[in-house]
Structure 1
Amino acid sequence: MTAPVRERAALDPEVVAIAADRAAAYRDAGLWRQELVSDLVLDRCRAQPDRCAVVDGDRRMTYAELARAVHEAAGRLRTLGIAPGDRVCVQLPNCLEYVVLVLALQHVGAPPVLILPAFREHELNHIVSVTRPVALAVDSGTRRFDQHGLARTLRDRHPGLRHLLVRGADRLAEGETDLAQLCRPGPGGTAPGTRRTGAAAAGAAPHDAAVFLLSGGTTGLPKAIPRTHEGYGYMIRTAVGIAGITSKSVTLAVMPAAHGFVMNCPGVLGTLIAGGRVVLANPNSPAGAFELIERERVTHCTLVPTLMLQWLAAAPGSGADLSSLEVIQVGGARPGAEAAARVRTELGATLQQCYGMSEGLLCFTRLDDLDETVHTTQGSAASAADEFRVVGADGRPVAQGEMGELLTRGPYTVAGYYRNPEATAAAFTPDGFYRTGDLVRLDPVGNVVLEGRVRDSINRGGEKISAEELESIAQRHPRIVQAAGVAMAHELYGEAVCLYAVLDGGGPLGLRELRRFLEQQGLAAFKFPERLEIVDALPLTGIGKIDKKALREDIAGRLAAGTP
């Protein structure tokens, strides 16, 4: 039996706790341990201080340097007044400072809220409103987007946002801290001890939040999902074994680390916990990724199907040495079986299909599964303690092999959203099962076959886009009376957005003008429509709702006929 959890109230009572009887069972079974995710990494730093831990361009950091950087950053964060129970929003590209800051915040007990770099004012304002951070970490931005300026706007708007931690800025104002300086390692020597004493003892406990992930926002703006050290740590440790990560592994992060898939499945954190090497990059092309694979002898990488297809197209003529690749994890959407089969022949790696969600559940094909399973299913649950229900529209279980909505609960699936009781009540059953909104079938041995979505959303290359959210913002345009977004087939992304719009009769409206307007509204660019159809009226169902099925059929017919 595991040691009892410290008798201390949670730092944040608004984190919805898993039912006490299930929590006790997970602890008794040894699934939940008395450990913090940051300490799992820092313990590895003590065990192998001279090994390279993180690579970011020309910068390389050993495990000893990583430990010193984390401890120094934690101290500097405390000096700023960031305390246990605070939250810090982190919107950074893949970089060394990202890794150090996430671990340092966990060490302090101030969980990071991981935000995609593509999010803009519309999404960021909502996330800050919900999570109420005391600090926001951002990059300075680019010529096209002033991220630093937006951060200042948000700070002016939200009085509780006291600090900006900025990477790469030329000038800093009061209340702003140079993130590179905050994350720099302390003096040389062996890695410092990792167990907490003195001032650090007031940090997080295993039942506190380690990190906040964000939902895909398939029914609107993103929801905040607090993942506790107990469940999050168990999930990462389990994923490490399933993905075959060892101390000899080299993981390349090419997708944003704000994706849970990249950070923790097993991703960046899992590789560091296993003692491997993490290579951080933001390549603009497969060629840039291939160069890193060859140089660093990368063994593992995480991709969405869109990137997988780009890699498959680029590999034959690249001349790159990809022979070190062992495992390519593909998730975020269902890849085609034919393309999945090409990963082995053209990239020389084992494909591992992954299916999961920020709320918890992970499924993987196993590295020794038959090709048919790997190419046509999204794998089975990571843990034997994961529970499934597949139900029909009436909420009753369907027969084995029939399609229905997947409901799940388990040792790393949360019990509710943060500061959003309405969404929690809608998404979770009274006995703790999460309604995924995904339509699935289970094969005879329990592998999941993803068939689609119950709710109205568009899956653009693994990024979930809420039609409702896009419609609401598009209808702010002075010319648009009514709007309806639907998924249409797309050769590269699998699905893309087609927006149908009814205008006020005052003249034409082009797609380019609409996209500029959505940009001005602060909407993330990946949510923009790829096609705009102007219609006199939207079709309605018998009960007066917009007939999305008719619109999907209409755009499918237009695409099939080659209508521009």
Structure 2
Amino acid sequence: MPVAIDELLTEAAVKYGSGTAFTDGVHTLTFKQAEQLSKRVAKHFLKMGLQKGDVIAVQLPNCMEFVLAHLAAAQIGLVFNPLSPNYRRQELTYMLGHCETKAIIVPGSTSKFDFETLAFEVKEKLPYLAHVITAGGAGHEESVAFSAFLEEDPAGITEDDLSACKPRPDDPSLIMFTSGTESNPKAVLHTSRTFVAPHLRNGYEYQLDEQDTILSLTPLCHMFSLPMIMISLHQGAKHYLYREYKVDELIAVFGREHVTFLIAAPAHLLDILHHMKTAGTAADDVNLRLVLTGGTKIPSQMVKDLRDVLQCNVGAQWGMTEVCAGSFTRPDDDPAKAWETIGRVNPTGEVIIVDEENNVLPAGEIGEIAFKGDSLFVEYYRNPDATKSAFNEDGYFLTGDQGYLDEDGYIYFSGRTKDTINRGGLKFHASEIEEALQMNPKVRQAAVVSVPDPRLGERACAYIALRDGEEWTFDEVKSFLLEQGFAKYKIPEYVEMRKELPTTPSGKISKGPLRTEAQLLGQE
């Protein structure tokens, strides 16, 4: 099992050769070309003066440049830091400054947003940021065009130079910032040992092979999708790089590209089902084998609808930037496991459930999910206090997620610790109400948070974004939830309609801003 990406590339080039490794529908890279071009890009990185241990950031959509930059950085010991294209000046200044980033790759000046100008504005404030590289049209005189890296090898850089920079398994290789749903994001540090081999083992569990085509609707800058670059190389699968999410064209893309393995957030899947129903779209040419989803509690009806409409299996996955893919259901599992559980722990991990005193709880008792294993991160970069507080005395990472284990090792997810709402001593998880709201055809996004209350302690507020053209009153929301059979104490006593709810790069609703707003509701 390879523990380094350069080894993985070499093996894939020999084994799969001229087969299609990556395509965006226009451009195609074979497995051999992926090896050759990523080496060429790595040489150009060295020519620019980047050195082993330097941090290189990318703020790109799902595209060829992202893939090649990732593979190139890994071969010469650069620390790869993928950033969401949604980030702007405040986030970039903090993140690039925290990592003392030496170079950043951004879309060119012809994109809908001028990432290049933003990068140079940030560069003026950061003395360590030496290079801005553009993928696409370059408008700034100091920009370096990524396309120039692909034309020919730079003079004076040899294969021996690449070999001299080859990272060791425990060298830093990846920094990813947490989603920041609660507060300022932390920089999660992984090595090749924690990132590469554990994910390749997961690829076997997904039953991927050369007949598969992977498509990720979630961005490559997120831990849900980034490992698919390695997994597709190792398993010989074609990886279709889907750049811009457009729900009305997806069914055609699935058929045209022969997509068999889809990675998507529940919100994406609800969009697809809603679009197919309202547009009367048939799935005759769709041959999806497996849809992998997660990031939140998965609505049971959504899983049933996907299996019925798209004739595919649905897998549930739970993970965090710190633990990677911590657990997931396997394709051969009982279909109900995908909505009842978040699967079993990954092949190299271990999960226990602990109480508030860190005592291990028996099967069936709800507590905090704690994780240990090969895919566990090394540290929060330059934040030793946060690192220390994240682990218990036995070395388990305390995830902040609530759930319980059954006798067969399946994990039942209850919700985030902060998602427990205590209304006058009666407790319930926000995810119960969120799941019901998400399955209403009028709703596009829904989140439930607590509101401070002087008498009851907490009440619930539902933040809802409706689909275009829909209307829903407060009384109708309450009536709908009562009709679903919920106890009255679980019905939100505040409902706030929004055009859009804040989200993390993975598409998960960011509750931090909503909790801040809800604090004010309790003061009215």
- Residue 382 of structure 1 is matched in structure 2 by 346
Counterpart pick for 2:328 among 343, 364, 379: 364
Instruction: For residues 132-184 of structure 1, give each alpha carbon's deviation from its aligned partner in whole angstroms, at most 9, with x where no partner exists.
Output: 1100111136776321111111111110000011122342322x211222245
Q: Does 1:304 align with 2:265?
A: yes
Aligned 8 A contact 1:246 1:276 in 2: yes
Q: Which whole-Å CA distance do the structure 1 matches of 2:19 and 2:322 have between them?
A: 33
- Residue 184 of structure 2 is matched in structure 1 by 221
Aligned 8 A contact 1:69 1:184 in 2: no
Counterpart pick for 2:119 among 147, 151, 158: 151
Deviation larger for 281-290 or 162-171: 281-290
Aligned 8 A contact 2:183 2:512 in 1: no
AA aligned to 2:337 is T
Q: Does 1:72 align with 2:40?
A: yes
Instruction: For residues 221-257 of structure 1, give each alpha carbon's deviation from its aligned partner in whole angstroms, at most 9, with x where no partner exists.
Output: 2211122112212221111011111122110122211
- Residue 239 of structure 2 is matched in structure 1 by 278
Question: What aligned pairs does 1:539-550 form with structure 2 within 5 A after superposition?
Answer: 539=522
Q: Does 1:166 align with 2:134?
A: yes
- Residue 138 of structure 1 is matched in structure 2 by 106
Q: Does 1:287 align with 2:248?
A: yes
- Residue 180 of structure 1 is matched in structure 2 by 147
Instruction: For residues 503-529 of structure 1, give each alpha carbon's deviation from its aligned partner in whole angstroms, at most 9, with x where no partner exists.
Output: xxxxxxx999x99xx9xxxxx997599
Q: Which whole-Å CA distance do the structure 2 matches of 1:284 and 1:246 have between them?
A: 26
- Residue 122 of structure 1 is matched in structure 2 by 90
Q: Which whole-Å CA distance do the structure 1 matches of 2:183 and 2:318 have between them?
A: 21
Q: Does 1:408 align with 2:376?
A: no
Instruction: For residues 521-541 of structure 1, give each alpha carbon's deviation from its aligned partner in whole angstroms, at most 9, with x where no partner exists.
Output: xxx99759998999997648x
- Deviation of 1:467 after TM superposition, in Å, equals 9.2
- Deviation of 1:213 after TM superposition, in Å, equals 2.1
Question: What aligned pairs does 1:446-461 form with structure 2 within 5 A after superposition?
Answer: 446-455=409-418
Q: Which whole-Å CA distance do the structure 2 matches of 1:89 and 1:466 have between them?
A: 34
Counterpart pick for 1:248 among 205, 211, 215: 211
- Deviation of 1:319 after TM superposition, in Å, equals 3.2
- Deviation of 1:38 after TM superposition, in Å, equals 3.6
Aligned 8 A contact 1:322 1:348 in 2: no
Counterpart pick for 1:340 among 303, 315, 334: 303
AA aligned to 1:365 is T
3-state SS of the aligned residue for 1:405?
strand
Q: Which whole-Å CA distance do the structure 2 matches of 1:454 and 1:139 have between them?
A: 38
3-state SS of the aligned residue for 2:224?
helix
3-state SS of the aligned residue for 2:190?
strand
Q: Which whole-Å CA distance do the structure 2 matches of 1:180 and 1:485 have between them?
A: 55
- Residue 554 of structure 1 is matched in structure 2 by none
- Residue 47 of structure 1 is matched in structure 2 by 15
Aligned 8 A contact 1:252 1:302 in 2: yes
Q: TM-score, normalised to structure 2's length?
A: 0.79
- Residue 98 of structure 1 is matched in structure 2 by 66
Instruction: For residues 255-302 of structure 1, give each alpha carbon's deviation from its aligned partner in whole angstroms, at most 9, with x where no partner exists.
Output: 2111111111xx222112211111011343223222221111111010
Q: Which whole-Å CA distance do the structure 1 matches of 2:122 and 2:377 have between them?
A: 29
Instruction: For residues 12-66 of structure 1, give each alpha carbon's deviation from its aligned partner in whole angstroms, at most 9, with x where no partner exists.
Output: xxxxxxxxxxxxxxxxxxxxx6731243033201322211111113111212222
Aligned 8 A contact 2:445 2:464 in 1: no
Q: Which whole-Å CA distance do the structure 2 matches of 1:87 and 1:118 have between them?
A: 20
Q: How many residues align?
A: 461
Q: TM-score, normalised to structure 1's length?
A: 0.74
Instruction: For residues 385-409 of structure 1, give each alpha carbon's deviation from its aligned partner in whole angstroms, at most 9, with x where no partner exists.
Output: 4222212233323332111111111
Q: Which whole-Å CA distance do the structure 1 matches of 2:459 and 2:145 have between them?
A: 41
- Residue 476 of structure 1 is matched in structure 2 by none
Aligned 8 A contact 2:43 2:153 in 1: no
Alpha carbons of structure 1 residues 535 and 403: separation in structure 2 relative to 1, 3 Å: closer
Aligned 8 A contact 2:109 2:138 in 1: no
- Deviation of 1:464 after TM superposition, in Å, equals 13
Alpha carbons of structure 1 residues 528 and 65: separation in structure 2 relative to 1, 3 Å: same
- Deviation of 1:320 after TM superposition, in Å, equals 4.5
Aligned 8 A contact 2:138 2:144 in 1: no
Deviation larger for 68-77 or 449-458: 449-458
- Deviation of 1:492 after TM superposition, in Å, equals 7.0
Alpha carbons of structure 1 residues 59 and 306: separation in structure 2 relative to 1, 3 Å: same
Aligned sequence identity (%): 24
- Residue 386 of structure 2 is matched in structure 1 by 423
Instruction: For residues 304-332 of structure 1, give each alpha carbon's deviation from its aligned partner in whole angstroms, at most 9, with x where no partner exists.
Output: 11111112223352235443210100111
Alpha carbons of structure 1 residues 155 and 49: separation in structure 2 relative to 1, 3 Å: same
CA RMSD, Structure 1 to Structure 2 (Å): 3.7
- Deviation of 1:465 after TM superposition, in Å, equals 10
- Deviation of 1:202 after TM superposition, in Å, equals 2.6
- Deviation of 1:349 after TM superposition, in Å, equals 1.1
3-state SS of the aligned residue for 2:10?
helix
Q: Does 1:318 align with 2:255?
A: no
Counterpart pick for 1:110 among 78, 102, 123: 78
- Deviation of 1:208 after TM superposition, in Å, equals 1.4
For structure 1, list consecutive stretches of 5 or more residues without a partner in the other structure. 1-32, 188-194, 469-483, 494-509, 519-523, 541-550, 552-564
- Residue 425 of structure 2 is matched in structure 1 by none
- Residue 59 of structure 1 is matched in structure 2 by 27
- Residue 462 of structure 2 is matched in structure 1 by 488
Alpha carbons of structure 1 residues 107 and 376: separation in structure 2 relative to 1, 3 Å: same
